[in-house]
Structure 1
Amino acid sequence: MLKESLKSLFTRDLNKLKSEIEQYQNEQAIWLVDKAILNSAGNLCLHLVGNLNTFVGGELGKTGYVRDRPLEFSQKNVPRAELISMVEATIAVVNEVLDQLSDADMERDYPQVKVVEGGSAIGFMLIHLSTHLAYHLGQINYHRRLLDI
């Protein structure tokens, strides 16, 4: 049940991420920062894609994904269509990897030692990644409503 719930949540929230990026009336606004808003929606999108491809795809699915975390926050002006394509590819990777996991796998230790506080099981890590996605998704929603003028 945990695996199916996580698949549902990741798919729902990654599709919502796509929707948020699509809803920007002004594509350049995706990359705006202002006052205390230090991360653009575009950089948060890149960060979420990098995060899930690293911790789900690379670690659990052995996809060979190599993360460049600093680039997630420094790269600018990636076209909207490319961001959306990256999110769609991430949905596929997450679902493919989760489909390969058994209930027993969810109880095993996550391959990297001490990634987050509070637990070491794969299931715990996946819950953490889902809440991380939801946190930044909320930031992107506010970013769009405040800065897409």
Structure 2
Amino acid sequence: MITESLRSLYNRDLSKLKTEIEAYQNEENLWKIDKNIANSAGNLCLHLVGNLNHFIGKELGNTDYVRQRDLEFSLKNIPKIELIEKVHATITMVDAILNRLSEEDLKKEYPLEPLGYKMTTDYFLIHLIAHLDYHLGQINYHRRLLDL
């Protein structure tokens, strides 16, 4: 079943996001930018949490989450422990909602058109994991380059 595969991948990659944030030796470096690195790891983490809480939590799970996307990139100096708590809560939320979705639910049309066209829910969930992994890779490089 694709639902089990999605749950496994989201758990794996969100857990890796948590590990990456925890790995910063100097908490201030989470918010560091340099030369052509426009987004800090802290802001990318906030962006991923906001993205998943909006597109999975609110849209598929009917949570009361209200996304403030501009703050995902403008907030600074959130304590590392708070970022980790946000990621942990996102892991729990994503897993619970995906666990409730049937194969039939996944084949339904996703309620929004965030990519500019209609798509099935499973297609968009695969897109979201690719988006997560893209930014997860950026955070990994950010940490290795700037957490000196």
Per the TM alignment, residue 117 of structure 1 is displaced from its structure 2 partner at its CA by 5.6
**How many Å separate the matches in 2 of 1:130 and 1:9?**
8
Residue number in structure 1 paired with 2:126: 127
1:103-126 Cα distance to aligned partner (Å, 9 max, x none): 0011000011x2226761000010
TM-score by length of 2: 0.98
**How many Å separate the matches in 2 of 1:90 and 1:13?**
11
Residue number in structure 2 paired with 1:55: 55
1:14-58 Cα distance to aligned partner (Å, 9 max, x none): 000010011111010000000000000000000000000000000
1:71-101 Cα distance to aligned partner (Å, 9 max, x none): 0000000000000000000001101110110
Kept after mapping to 2: 8 A contact 1:27/1:80:
yes
1:12-91 aligned at under 5 Å gives the runs 12-91=12-91
Please state whether the residue corresponding to 2:57 is helix, strand or coil: helix
Residue number in structure 1 paired with 2:95: 95
Unmatched tracts of structure 2, length 5 or more: none
Counterpart code for 1:141: N
Kept after mapping to 2: 8 A contact 1:119/1:125:
no
TM-score by length of 1: 0.97
Q: CA RMSD in A?
A: 1.0
* Larger deviation, residues 35-44 vs 119-128: 119-128
Paired residues in the alignment total 148
**How many Å separate the matches in 1 of 2:118 and 2:29?**
38
**How many Å separate the matches in 2 of 1:142 and 1:61?**
32
Q: Percent identity?
A: 60
Structure 1 consecutive aligned stretches of length 4 or more whose deviation exceeds 4 Å? none
Kept after mapping to 1: 8 A contact 2:47/2:72:
yes
Per the TM alignment, residue 139 of structure 1 is displaced from its structure 2 partner at its CA by 0.1
Kept after mapping to 1: 8 A contact 2:110/2:118:
no
